[in-house]
Amino acid sequence: MKSAAIPDVVYITDAQRVISPVQAAEMRAIFDRLPLLIEGESKIVKQINDELVIITLKPTLFSYSANRTAVVEGSDELRLRISQVLWKELATAGVDIAVACVGADFYVSRKVDAPPIEVIVKSAHVGTPKHLYHNMDKYRTRTGGVLLPELRHEPYVRFDWRNPLPHKDECMPPWLADQFIDTKKAEEVALQSFDILQRFLKTRGIDMLDICFFISADGRTVFGEISPDCMRAKYEHEDLDKDLWRKGKDRQTVLNRWGEFLGLVEH
């Protein structure tokens, strides 16, 4: 596995220098004493003030479909380092990113109105649609084609409501999703972000099939991690994503492959 470097505080955009490196380090030092905003399966969010939060990732891996969960030490660091690179790509391309800066084991973000909704972009017939909609490949589409498993197609967006465990997340009808998030704007931002990342990753030999974004209620701001834990990404037809965990690979294999992902995007 590639050794993940421990950087100083790195800013995602100059325009978001809302906290100094010293202040960020101070907030990390007193992280345990800061007010808890939310703790989930993969992260802990503490409140700095009315505008800022500080987040640490947990070294956990979970797959509902495979009914498999574990603590994988080092996975949190790889997720953070990869997210740092991809956040920067999006911000440089003009996408509004809530993340202000990234430290050795934390990041500071603007506080946003964050509904429990995943904004998912699919560009291949994989994952949930492939498994949920039985016999779809037996019917012709309106244009005369057939949606076969793994088939590449034009990217589309769907919205999933994030249920607390042990319940699985559920797809939302557009009207219902629109009560909590501006679906039109969020779809626009998600497709723009997907295109930016897909093009960038392609230059590194990585093929991204789908991704899950977290976008603010107004549909304008991307927040939260962007890592192999929330996408399907392949390198030379081999898994670089959480499919490794879904398929029963051991902890070290996941770390090795995610370390390879980091090495590809860092250079």
Going residue by residue through the chain, which has 267 residues, state the pLDDT in tens, using 9 for 90 and above.
444 444 589 999 876 678 999 999 999 999 999 999 999 889 999 999 999 999 999 999 877 665 678 899 999 999 999 999 999 999 999 999 999 999 999 999 999 999 999 999 999 999 889 989 999 999 999 999 999 999 999 999 999 999 988 888 999 999 999 999 999 999 999 999 999 999 999 999 999 999 999 999 999 999 999 999 999 999 998 999 988 988 888 999 999 999 999 999 997
Three-state secondary structure call for residue 179: coil
pLDDT value of residue 264: 97
Parse the chain into domains and list their residue ranges.
Answer: 10-110, 117-247
Model confidence pTM above 0.85:
yes
End-to-end CA distance of the chain: 16
Rounded to whole angstroms, how far apart are CA atoms 54 and 151? Answer: 40
Residue with tokens 């479909």: 65
- Residue 251, class by beta-carbon neighbours within 10 Å (0-12 exposed, 13-18 middle, 19+ buried)? middle
Tell me whether the CATH fold assigned to 10-110 matches the one assigned to 117-247. Answer: no
Count how many residues are written for the chain: 267
pLDDT value of residue 88: 97
Q: Identify the CATH number of the domain defined by range 10-110.
A: 3.30.200.20
**The CATH homologous superfamily of the domain defined by 117-247:** ATP-grasp fold, B domain (3.30.470.20)
The tally of CA atoms less than 13 A away on the side-chain side of residue 36 is 6
To the nearest 5 percent, what fractions of the chain are helix, strand and coil?
A: 35, 25, 40
pLDDT value of residue 2: 45
